Structure formats: C-alpha cells, structure tokens
Amino acid sequence: MSEIATMNVKEQFLSTFGVQDFHFDTEASKAARNEATKRIEGLEFPTSKTEYWKYTRINRIVKAEYKIAESTTTIDITPFLIEGMEKNVMVFVNGFYRADISTITSQEGVIACALSEAKEKHADLFNAYFSKYLPTDEIFANINTAFHQDGAFIHFAKKQKADQPIHILNLVEGDQIITNPRNLIIGEAFSEGKVVTSYHNLNGGKSFTNAVNECFAAENSYLEFNKLQEEDGTSFHIATDQVQQEKSGNFTINTFTFNGDIVRNNLNIAVAGENGYTSLNGFYLPKEKQLVDNHTRVDHLVPHCESHELYRGVIDDKATAVFNGKVMVHRDAQKTNAFQANNNVLLSDDATINSKPELEIYADDVKCSHGSTIGQLDEEAIFYLRARGLSEDSAIRLLLNAFAADVLEHVGIESFRQLIEEKIENGLKK
Amino acid sequence: MIKIENLHASIDGQPILKGINLEVKPGEVHAIMGPNGSGKSTLASVLAGREEYEITEGSVTFEGKDLLDLGAEDRAREGIFLAFQYPVEIPGVSNINFLKTAINEIRKYRGEEPIPAKDFLKLVKEKSALVELDNSLASRSVNEGFSGGEKKRNEIFQMAMLEPKLSILDETDSGLDIDALRIVANGVNKLKSADNASIVITHYQRLLDYIVPDFVHVLYNGKIIKSGPKELALELEEKGYDWLKKDQVIEA
Ligand SMILES: Nc1ncnc2c1ncn2[C@@H]1O[C@H](COP(=O)(O)OP(=O)(O)OP(=O)(O)O)[C@@H](O)[C@H]1O
Ligand SMILES: [Mg+2]
C-alpha cells in the first residue's frame, strides 16, 4: 500500500500496462517499444503551463484508473457498419483484433490485416515505416508506441486503385478501459485508397482511447483518411495523427467529433514532396461539458505545394472547443499556397471556443491566408425559414447542415458522408 | 379573413404601430402606401410573427383564430405568406430543399401526407414558369448571389409554391425592371382567387396598374390615416403625402 501511495501520477498511470505481455512481439516491435519506454522516463504529462496543451487539462484523464481487458464476447456490430463498406470491416474491441467478427474482402494490391500480423508477415514494411516520424517528445504518442495492443495495417500497393474503402471499427466494451490502438496506413506510389476509422463505446463507461494513426502517402498517391469519434460523453480520447506526404501526392484527412468528455486530436502533416495537395478538414459538435481540441500542424517543407484546411464546429451548452492550426511554410517552400479557416457557431451563451490559427512563413514567394470566425446562427435566416412554415428546429438544422456542407464535401465516400450528415442532424437535439 | 383591431406594437420600448385597424375579406386586394419609416414593414413583420416586436395593445384574428398567439411557422401553416422587402441570403440551403421541407411541414400541420417527389417536381416546374424564374435559380442556395430583381421573383415563386390564403407583399415591386414587374404582377394575379386575399405594400402606383386593389390605405406614423378606392393611389402619386400629414396634425 505505502508503495502505491508514493507512486506519482505517471508511474501510477503506467502501472496499468504492467499486465501486458509483449513476449510474442517481433524484435523490431519490441525494440520500438523499449525506445519509447525509455523516452517516457524523461517525459512528464503536460500541465496547464505546457503551451501545446494550454486549453486542455488532462488531469482527469491521467488520474483515472484503467484496465486492459481483452474481450471475446459476441458482439453485434451492425449498428456501427457504414452502408456500402460492410465488405471491409476490421473490428477491434478494447484495442484487440477480433478476426471472428471482422470481414475483409480481398482486393488486388491491398493488404488489410492486423498490425500484429503485419509485424511478421510484412516485416519489411513494418520496420520501414512504424514510428518513423512520430514526435518523440509527446508522451501520449510514446505511450501508444510502448504499449499499443494492436491496430490496422493497410497497404495500397504501387499503382493499385482500391475500389472498396476500408473501415477500421474500434469498439470499447466495459468500464474504465484503456486502449492504445495503432494504425499504420501506407499508400505506395500512384496508389489510391480510402479508409475510415471510427471509435465507439458499446456500453457506457469512462474509457480512454490513446490512438496513433500513421499515414504515408508516396508520390502520386491518392489517400483519404476519415476519423469518426463518437465515444460516450464520459470517455476520453487523445489521438496523434502523423502524416508524411511525398511528391505530387493528394492526401485528405477528415476528423468528425461528436462525443467524448475530452477529445484531443494532434494532427501533424509533413508535406515533403513537391506538387502535393493536402486537404485537412474537421467538424465538431461538443455539447454538455465536453471539450474538443483540434491541434493541427502542416509543415510545408518543399516548393509548389498546396494545403487547404477547413475546421468547423457547433458548440452547445457548456461545451468548449479549441482549434489551434499551425501552418509552417519553411524557407525552401516557395510557391506554397496554404489556406486555413476555422468557423464556429455557438448555440449557447455558456459555450466557449478558443480559436488560434497560426501562420509562420519563412519563404517569400507564397500565397497564404487564414481566418477564424465565431458567431451565432443568423436570426434573420431562421425567421425567414419559419415564415415559410418550417419549425424553428428544422430551420436550425437546415442552417447547421449548410454550415457543415463545406466540410462534408471533402468526404469522398458517399455513404460515409451521408452518415455524418445524419449524425450532425441527430447531434442537434432541441 | 383577417381582422386587425387597434394594433399597437413597439420595439425596444419605442412605439411604431399606434393603433392599426384593418379588415381584409377573401378575394380582396388591399394596398398600403405611406412614407418611409411609417411602419409598413413593421406591420407586415408583426403579422408574419417576428418576435422582436412587442404587441402592447390590440388584436389580430385570422380566420377566427387569434393570430398573435401563434408562432411564425404556425402562421405560415395557417396560410399567411410574407414576401419580404429584403429577402435574406441563406448560403448552403437550397431553395428547392427548404421549400420541400416547408411544404411537408405545412401539410403535416394540416394532417396531410408528405408531397410525393414527382408531384413536388411538377409543382416546381409549373410555378417557376409562372414567374419565369430560371430553373437554376430554383435549385440554388436561397437568394445567395441573386440580383435584387431575382430575389423578388423568388419570393413570388415561393408564394406560388405555398399557395397561401393571405399574401403580404412588402415592396415586391421595388428593384424590378418593367418586364419583371409585369411578370411578378401577372404571377400574383394568376394566383388570385375568391378564397385568398393580399395586402400589397408599395410606394408606386405603377404596380397597382397591374395588381388592381380594392382598397388603398395610407399608413403614416404608425396609423392608417386614410383609406379609399383605387383612385386614392393616383391622387397620392400626384399630390404626395403632405396634404394628408397636415390633416393628421389637425386631427391630433
Ligand atoms: N428593429 C428595429 N429597431 C429599431 N427601430 C426599428 C426597427 N424596425 C423598425 N424600426 C423603426 O420603425 C419605423 C418604421 O419602420 P418600417 O420598416 O416599418 O417602415 P416602412 O414604412 O416599411 O418604411 P419603408 O417605406 O422605408 O420601407 C422606422 O422609424 C424604423 O426605424
Ligand atoms: Mg418597408
């Protein structure tokens, strides 16, 4: 007892992972875990004084007690399926792969398997890409590397166009569950692929998902990565999305956050090859006392690239949203076009938004813009619609759907887009 | 159809309407004229259900119901339509989509089934032809980037789609060129029947050449200070409002 009492928060938190046995892991994976573990020793959890985490207090996340629990129960996944994407659903429950309830339809040139399997079967790829560009100084990303259970490994081979998008379905079953899901997505040169990863709770509970997604978009690849976060309102989610984009690639990432006590997304995109096109978008809809924090960073490292960022949110009740979008145009990145916008609608007087678009430009021949807006719904428009017979409710929905539409147009999977549209509608109670 | 009695309305404690009396019967067209700022749009807004105005006195009955008791949407569902003087632009909300929602909510209110998609499209085609509204405008975002005249035409298109019992046209003629004026007025006339009525707010006799009113009222300083047959409009065009304002002072 006394020993536990003297443990600090970090030790206490990390002790949860002691039960995990990585005995069967590959040497390369074990080495990555060990390195991360060593780095963690020198790192602390961010505090309110840590600039990068200023608005998001993670005390409640790291002081809670969690357990790791593999689940073998029968689970009906149908409520979580996305129409038209049922043929490729990789299911993870509490972070562990459930082959028994997953469906993978083989597609030419596409590998979709559990990361644990890829570590052996596709060791060359795993070793080449795993943890390659992940920030070394962020404790949560390191914790994931050190203690990840499993995740999806998706590989689109050179010149292959995957017709069917792949759904990575993450479910949490039980109370106080901690998961470290880890996805690795690789689009080889001239490949084309679309992926959705979604996060849900099966039954209530204060769980914590500490996710890492690594995406590699090789030259002339066309990759779309969608995230749907709709865990319970009592759950925590911290995600690190690390993207490396090469020459003439086209990369899109869309992040939709509907629920979660505290949700934090750290998105880092390195535009490392010329003529790249990057699109990063988000929509968030926090309510009650929830907090959604999107920290994005785009590094333009080379010339002639274009990035478009659009994050929008509707904040209700006493909820808080944070948007911090940094675009760094490095010295060599001449002829960069970088556009960033963050628009917010506050539905209540107690809702809060902290919006901070940041543009740092070290090249002289660039075209960049950024802007953020905060507003209420247009009362005149609501009256106009009501005067035509729409209820106030329908009028508000129409306006909010219109507000979300500019974000949703970046979703290339039609049925997923419709699903998000519905979720936005349903997310607006009143 | 509608009976307005001693209606007083104010905004931020400032009285704007100061005792309006007006009765409109089915089949009638009433024109309301009057100088800028006299309260014409305020009257229209109050009837349509804008909540910023405080009704301090008086009553409005519409088909036997207390209109002031209803929210804006229920008034629309009961059959009141306001063609706005300044229609708002609503980016991202398609004209057609919102009209479909509107029609279905109105039908639901009346205990009717939703309109079948085919019938709806037929209606759109028919009614947009009536006001010669370009098909592409019908499907664009509500009023977004519409010219002044197109916005007005869109108002009448919506009116045609919703088939109201009482239409209130607030300066629908302003900003219209001669051809558009004729088209809009024709549209209004074609929609006219023995069962519906309209209140036409305008500054110009010109519109009343097309939409011939049964009565003309002059609204000044929140009150109707004169009512008369359609010839009154001609007289106003000729003499302006000053002679009436003088009367008003004497009366007061
Ligand atoms: N929301 C408001 N806040 C303050 N004053 C208002 C408001 N709405 C109307 N008013 C005032 O009420 C008076 C009547 O305005 P209203 O728009 O009804 O006039 P109108 O007769 O329609 O004029 P016009 O011919 O210029 O359209 C004006 O003095 C106007 O400034
Ligand atoms: Mg007016």
Tens digits of residue pLDDT in B57-113: 999 999 999 999 999 999 999 999 999 999 999 999 999 999 999 999 999 999 999
CA separation for the pair B28, A266 (Å, rounded):
65
Q: What is the nearest CA distance from B236 to chain A, expressed in angstroms?
A: 31
Reported as a pLDDT band with limits 50, 70 and 90, residue B23 is very high
Residue A388 and residue B99: Cβ atoms within 8 Å? Answer: yes
Reported as a pLDDT band with limits 50, 70 and 90, residue B139 is confident
Question: Ligand 1 centroid vs B234 CA: distance in angstroms?
Answer: 25
The answer to whether B53 and B39 have CB atoms below 8 angstroms apart is no
Residue A389 and residue B82: Cβ atoms within 8 Å? Answer: no
Residue B90 and residue A406: Cβ atoms within 8 Å? Answer: no
Q: What is the nearest CA distance from A402 to chain B, expressed in angstroms?
A: 4
pLDDT per position as a tens digit, A7-63: 799 999 999 999 899 989 999 999 999 999 999 999 999 998 899 999 999 999 999
The answer to whether B61 and B2 have CB atoms below 8 angstroms apart is yes
Q: pTM of whole model > 0.95?
A: no
Judged against a pLDDT cut of 50, whether residue B251 lies above it is answered with no
CA separation for the pair B247, B225 (Å, rounded):
9
Question: Ligand 1 centroid vs B134 CA: distance in angstroms?
Answer: 32
What does the pLDDT read at residue B175?
Answer: 85
Residue A385 and residue B90: Cβ atoms within 8 Å? Answer: yes
CA separation for the pair A244, A235 (Å, rounded):
29
Residue B102 and residue A385: Cβ atoms within 8 Å? Answer: yes
Interface test with A, best of B77, B84, B88, B161 (most A CBs within 10 A): B88
Judged against a pLDDT cut of 80, whether residue B249 lies above it is answered with no
What does the pLDDT read at residue A5?
Answer: 55
Question: Which token pair is A196?
Answer: 């959705």
Residue B102 and residue A401: Cβ atoms within 8 Å? Answer: no
CA separation for the pair A125, A184 (Å, rounded):
10
Residue in A closest to B110 by C-alpha: A389
- The mean per-residue pLDDT over the stretch A161-187 comes to 97
Reported as a pLDDT band with limits 50, 70 and 90, residue A1 is very low
| A279, amino acid identity | S
Going by alpha carbons, the residue nearest to atom 18 of ligand 1 is: B39
Interface test with A, best of B77, B98, B159 (most A CBs within 10 A): B98
Going by alpha carbons, the residue nearest to atom 4 of ligand 1 is: B11
Q: What percent of chain A has pLDDT over 90?
A: 90
Residues 6+ apart with CB under 8 A from B235: B228
Judged against a pLDDT cut of 50, whether residue B233 lies above it is answered with yes
Residue B76 and residue A388: Cβ atoms within 8 Å? Answer: yes
Question: Which token pair is B230?
Answer: 């359609």
Question: Which token pair is B11?
Answer: 């905004």
Residue B90 and residue A402: Cβ atoms within 8 Å? Answer: yes
Question: Ligand 2 centroid vs B219 CA: distance in angstroms?
Answer: 11
This model of the complex carries an ipTM of 0.95
Reported as a pLDDT band with limits 50, 70 and 90, residue A249 is very high
What does the pLDDT read at residue B247?
Answer: 67
Residue A402 and residue B92: Cβ atoms within 8 Å? Answer: yes
- The mean per-residue pLDDT over the stretch B134-151 comes to 88
CA separation for the pair B172, B179 (Å, rounded):
14
Q: Which residue has the higher pLDDT, B188 or A267?
A: A267
Residues of A with CB below 8 A from B158's CB?
Answer: 388
Half-sphere exposure for B217 (CA within 13 Å, toward CB): 23
Residues 6+ apart with CB under 8 A from A106: none
pLDDT per position as a tens digit, A63-85: 999 999 998 889 999 999 999 99
Residues 47-76 of B with CB under 8 A from A: 48-51, 71-73, 75-76
Interface test with A, best of B46, B73, B166 (most A CBs within 10 A): B73
- The mean per-residue pLDDT over the stretch A85-102 comes to 97
Residues 6+ apart with CB under 8 A from A133: A214, A242, A244, A268, A270
pLDDT per position as a tens digit, B38-50: 999 999 999 999 9
Q: Does the B2-251 domain belong in CATH 3.40.1480.10?
A: no
Enumerate the domain spans of chain A.
3-273, 379-430
Judged against a pLDDT cut of 70, whether residue B115 lies above it is answered with yes
What does the pLDDT read at residue B239?
Answer: 86
Reported as a pLDDT band with limits 50, 70 and 90, residue A178 is very high
Quote the crossing angle between the two packed helices B117-130 and B178-191, to the nearest 10°. Answer: 130
Residues of B with CB below 8 A from A403's CB?
Answer: 92
Q: What percent of chain A has pLDDT over 70?
A: 98
Residues of B with CB below 8 A from A397's CB?
Answer: none
Which 3 state secondary structure label does DSSP give B133?
coil
What does the pLDDT read at residue B131?
Answer: 87
pLDDT per position as a tens digit, A281-328: 999 999 999 999 999 999 999 999 999 999 999 999 999 999 999 999
Which 3 state secondary structure label does DSSP give B12?
coil
pLDDT per position as a tens digit, A150-168: 999 999 999 999 999 999 9
Q: What is the mean pLDDT of chain A?
A: 95
CA separation for the pair B93, B73 (Å, rounded):
18
Contact residues of A toward B, CB < 8 A = 378, 380-381, 383-392, 394, 398-399, 401-403, 405-406
Question: Ligand 2 centroid vs B236 CA: distance in angstroms?
Answer: 18
Residues flanking ligand 1, CB < 6 Å? B 11, 16, 34, 36-42, 52, 85
Question: Ligand 1 centroid vs B11 CA: distance in angstroms?
Answer: 10
Query: First vs last Cα of chain B: how many Å apart?
Result: 31
What does the pLDDT read at residue A6?
Answer: 64
Could you write out the three-class secondary structure of A351-402?
Answer: CEEEEEEEEEECCCCCEEEEEEEEECCCHHHHHHHHCCCCCHHHHHHHHHHH
What does the pLDDT read at residue A425?
Answer: 83
What does the pLDDT read at residue B240?
Answer: 85
Question: Ligand 2 centroid vs A54 CA: distance in angstroms?
Answer: 50
Enumerate the domain spans of chain B.
2-251
Quote the crossing angle between the two packed helices B95-109 and A392-408, to the nearest 10°. Answer: 150
Question: Which token pair is A281?
Answer: 């978008």
- Atom number of ligand 1 nearest to Cα B203: 25
Least confident of A216-225, B31-40, B124-133: B124-133
Reported as a pLDDT band with limits 50, 70 and 90, residue A354 is very high
The answer to whether A350 and A318 have CB atoms below 8 angstroms apart is yes
Residues of B with CB below 8 A from A387's CB?
Answer: 48-49, 72-73, 75-76, 81-82, 84
A266, A270, A276, A277 alpha-carbon torsion, rounded to 10°: 10
Least confident of A227-231, A356-360, B77-81, B246-250: B246-250
Q: What percent of chain B has pLDDT over 90?
A: 78
Going by alpha carbons, the residue nearest to atom 16 of ligand 1 is: B39
What does the pLDDT read at residue B252?
Answer: 42
- Mutation pick for ligand 1 pocket among B33, B38, B169, B171 (CB with most ligand atoms within 8 Å): B38
